[in-house]
Chain A
Amino acid sequence: MTKEEAENGRDDMAIDGAEQANAVPDGFDANYLRIYYGKLFPHADMFKWMSYGNDGKHPACDRSYFGRREFSFTLENDIYIRFQSFNSVIELENSIKEKCPFKIDIGPVYSVDPAKRHAYAGDNVFTPVERELVFDIDITDYDDVRYCCTGADVCLECWPLMTIAIKVIDAALRDDFGFNHILWVYSGRRGVHCWVCDGKARRLTNEQRTAIADYFRVYKGNENSHKKISLPGPVLHPFLARSYTEVLKGFFEAKLLPNQSLLSSEDRYEKILEMIPDASVASELRGRWQENKRASMSKDDINLVRWDQLKSVLQSGKQKTQGIRRCVEEIVFSFTYPRLDMEVSKHMNHLLKAPFCVHPKTGRVCVPIDPNNCDEFDPTTVPTLSQLVEELNREGLRQDAENEWDRTSLGESIKFFRTTFLQPLLKSCKEDIESSYNAKLQQSKNTLSCRTQSNHLCPNVYSHLFNPVINAVEDQN
């Protein structure tokens, strides 16, 4: 028996040769992926989600809805196929199992089945009609403010930047915009995605999506401009003010500042001093810090001490100009405020990776993140493909092939997905479908009863009811 099995006290029927097979080497492997799609990937849940209630029996259900959604697959060897569509859960599942895509992207719902798009000529005939409001936050966009990692690496020191972003954006989506059905997903390596699935959100136009993305945008610079955050005005907009006091300030002062040692060395504190528009103020601080390089007056973290000094200088009553006082917030914002990829959110036809995919470079599954508990989320312990396959192997063969994911680490994620996101969403969709159906029914009943009346009464009333278009035209003229 292997050491593992001895520890587990397992009494497998496995013979020696097969024991080696239980230990699964690390990494991403196409064969594991096949097993993953075969037993673990939640095909049915994805189908239910993407159907938004239209897979039900209600007469108002749109049978064509799911079939008009675009999926795209990235296969082995970087072969990329777009405009995949499926008419049922079986078609979806079979295609995924057969093609075993390394990445699955979800696109919009089009006006017609994407597979038949060439049959329609002319502008605006094949066009997106619904698409979730999506956001993509990638930690590489924060490379200029994190020193622990760069590029694709992520660690527990800098991951909290993502946590902060989730908190700020999630609160605004719910409180400001009134959205309810929001799914946050780990992107598998270095970021998070957000899917806003309310009906209102799915029907937003590109212009409206751009407006929302702009509402969230604060960061506007690049390496050629010194100050990348500008917060003009005597006070902040309520959204920014709330984000600052409830999330950003606390995080910056308690975590980011000390963990990233933002003020401890000269090249690091220079970056912050550069953001102060008044050169004399900056040099005053610079002078103080250069003196104190070696001696440290107290046991407190030098970063916190210096930050307090900076704040008291900038916010003292002596400072006349608005810009100076606001500088403290600007510094905090420039380090901590969420940096969204605008292009992802602006266009309906943008394709975004599906949840529960496996990231080919890390082997990690793109699992949902609970926004109410995002502090607890640890990207380094997200289940990997090899880990899951190993867990499956360990459980051995079972008769029932249902819900195999429940015996693995993935179970928790799928249950979370269902209870906190999918079920409330589908309930709400069902209600919407029913109520709009009833409304239409009511409307045509009203017309009907008027008609039967008017046959006896005034023919003019009759024509008004059946030719509302003419009415409108007349009114306009």
Chain B
Amino acid sequence: MEVVQSHRKSSSNNVTVSTLPLYRSAPPLEVRLEDFELFAMDRLRVLKGISDGLGRGKKPEEMEKLVADLWKANMRHPQANEEANKDIISHFVLRLVYCRTEELRKWFLSMETTLFRYRFRFESSEAQRALMSEFKLPYKAVSNAEFESVKDKLGQVARSMGQTLASADAIFYKVPFEEVPELVAGRRVFICKGHAYVAMNQVVSLVVTQFRSYLSKALILTNRKWTSTVREQEKDRLAPIVEALCTSYLGPDYSQPNEAGEISVKDIDHIAKTSFPLCMRHLFEKVREDHHLKHGGRMQLGLFLKGVGLKLDDALAFWKAEFAPKVSAERFDKEYAYNIRHNYGREGKRTDYTPYSCQKIISSTPGVGDHHGCPYRHFSEENLRAALVRMGVSSRAVEDVVDKVRNRHYQLACTLTFEAVHGSSCDAGINHPNQYFIDSQRILQSKGLCLHTEYCVIWDTFEYSLQLTQSLQWMSLYVPIWFHSLAEFDIKGTGAAGSVFTDTTDGGGSLNPMLIQ
């Protein structure tokens, strides 16, 4: 494979062809502490908007518009270089915030990659080519002779996607299939003997893959540096901001249910009827009916119940009893108990798994014999209608829900179901099955029908922590921050601000990078 000619790169250094940063290294900039947080919150609004859009199953054209709107609304600045700075600074701040756990990293990686993808698509093809060379992508343009020999197949692939093959002089690139996993997965390229033939307009995928893999590694490095050195030193200044930024936007992850908010096995039947979202009702009904669930279903329902407050011992008793007609107690202990304990963080690497959010559930792929996933997405219309009627949804509301499903707005469909069942509106929309449960219990409690009042406490705590975050915006200590490459932060203190160096200073005020090895 040829590496792209270097002359292109030098010309792009002279002329600013593209405004899209790659976030390879942070430029040396001074940032006010206020801006530190404000920029990050603006960018977070963009990322959260993207997350919502993806969760609602928006099509690529809709996402393109959404990204453009979000960026315009939150990240614009009258001066172009200020805008670029905000872009870069906000990205690096959010790296700090989202590097800290695997789940946060996954979310951030996913949103930033999506953001990058759509911004890349807006760029001119000149700019796109320049960016490709930045990534040093080993691609090779297909010669005319070779193009002729595979033209039929290329045309077939294009038509299979509802497109037409571009004119005879269309540019195709030949790359090892490993470089374009997204295109391979979607069968959007012709592959022959290990080579994928990528159209110019698919080049986005190549670039995005590179961006993603780079950012993924960078996040892990950032995490190491944060936990090993920076967090301790910044515990009074940056650390509280960083920690608050995260929780205020992702919402509670329901991994630590309030101690008092327990449920016992005998309660499950009742709350399943009143407060479970459809996905969990379905799984629960199936367990009752079949006395079995496949792995995907056990995970989805099991973690949900954990979030609802089912303790490990009760969970083991529940599953054991449900499976009893098909699985002997011995076999249960051998084959299933381990996994349940694993879910509660008592085995293996002791990860305390968090219940799945709607986004995760919607994007799962149930196969033969599975019952997990989002029923709004996977049920046939007939089955969905029947299920909704069983939940007590009026026929008028069923039509509305079905309409949402046809437009692939699965979470909105669930929200409408919630509203129909409880007779009250849900403005925030449903993003998480445990949220559905808590909201449901809250409403029932206010009507005197709830089992435990403690669920409302969880909700209040969340709202309280949101207020706490906003008060941090009033911290206006002026401290210049120097960013060094990758994830290192060189922080220059102004004496009384109290920043700490590991190295010697050579007289007041000059910068000494922290040597983080």
Chain A positions within 8 Å of B, measured between CB atoms, are 78, 123-124, 141, 143-144, 175-179, 200, 204, 207-208, 210-212, 214-215, 219-227, 232-241, 339, 342, 476-477
Contact = CB atoms under 8 A, between A and B. Distances in A.
A403 B106 CA distance: 53
Contact of B184 (A124, A178, A212, A339): A212
Interface string B155-182: 0110111100000000000000110011
Interface string B163-205: 0000000000000011001101111001111110000000000
A233 B177 contact: no
Given A232-B162, A233-B161, A241-B156, 18 more contacts: A124-B220, A143-B369, A177-B194, A208-B181, A212-B185, A215-B185, A215-B191, A221-B366, A221-B367, A222-B368, A223-B369, A224-B380, A226-B380, A234-B160, A237-B156, A239-B187, A339-B368, A477-B25
B184 A211 contact: yes
Interface of B: 24-25, 153, 156-157, 159-162, 177-178, 181-182, 184-187, 190-195, 220, 334, 365-371, 375, 378-380, 382-383
Given A208-B178, A235-B159, A215 B368 contact: no
6 contacts: A141-B369, A177-B194, A210-B185, A214-B185, A237-B156, A477-B25
Contacts of B160: 233-237
B156 A222 contact: no
A476 B187 CA distance: 34
A215 B162 contact: no
Which one of B187, B370, B375 has the highest number of Cβ atoms from chain A below 10 Å of its Cβ?
B187
A239 B157 CA distance: 9
A204 B182 CA distance: 14
Given A234-B162, A237-B187, A224 B378 contact: yes
B77 to A, nearest CB: 25
Contact of A238 (B25, B156, B369): B156
Nearest to B377: A225
Given A204-B178, A214-B185, A225-B380, A176 B191 contact: yes
Contacts of B190: 238
A210 B156 contact: no
Given A208-B181, A234-B159, A477-B25, A141 B187 contact: no
A201 to B, nearest CB: 10
Contacts of A241: 156
B25 A476 contact: yes
Contacts of A212: 184-185
Contact of B194 (A200, A207, A225): A200
Nearest to B163: A233
Contacts of A179: 194
Contacts of B25: 476-477
Contacts of A342: 365, 367
Given A208-B181, A211-B185, A215-B187, A222 B370 contact: yes
Nearest to A343: B295
Contact of A175 (B178, B193, B220, B380): B193
A38 to B, nearest CB: 29
B157 A238 contact: yes
Contacts of A240: 187
Instruction: Give 6 closest A-B pairs by Cβ, nearest first.
Output: A178-B194, A211-B181, A214-B185, A178-B193, A211-B185, A233-B160
Contacts of A232: 162
Contacts of A210: 181, 185
Nearest to A223: B369
A233 B334 CA distance: 47
Contacts of B375: 224
Nearest to B155: A235
Which one of A200, A210, A233, A477 has the highest number of Cβ atoms from chain B below 10 Å of its Cβ?
A233
B371 A224 contact: yes
A141 B367 contact: yes
B25 to A, nearest CB: 7
Contacts of B370: 222
A233 B220 contact: no
A351 to B, nearest CB: 14
A221 B184 CA distance: 21
Contact of B159 (A215, A224, A233): A233
Nearest to A123: B220
Contacts of A225: 378-380, 383
Contacts of A123: 220
Contact of B383 (A211, A215, A224, A227): A224
B209 to A, nearest CB: 9
A177 B334 CA distance: 40
Nearest to A227: B380
Given A178-B194, A210-B181, A477-B25, A220 B365 contact: yes
Nearest to A179: B194
Contacts of B187: 215, 237, 239-240
A240 B379 CA distance: 26
A123 B221 CA distance: 11
A318 B347 CA distance: 61
A98 B378 CA distance: 50
B368 A177 contact: no
Contacts of A220: 365, 367
Given A224-B383, A234-B162, A237-B160, A144 B368 contact: yes
A227 B383 CA distance: 13
A67 B178 CA distance: 28
Contact of A222 (B159, B193, B371): B371
B159 A177 contact: no
B156 A175 contact: no
B367 to A, nearest CB: 6
B378 A219 contact: no
A362 B184 CA distance: 38
B149 to A, nearest CB: 14
A69 B129 CA distance: 42
A210 B382 CA distance: 32
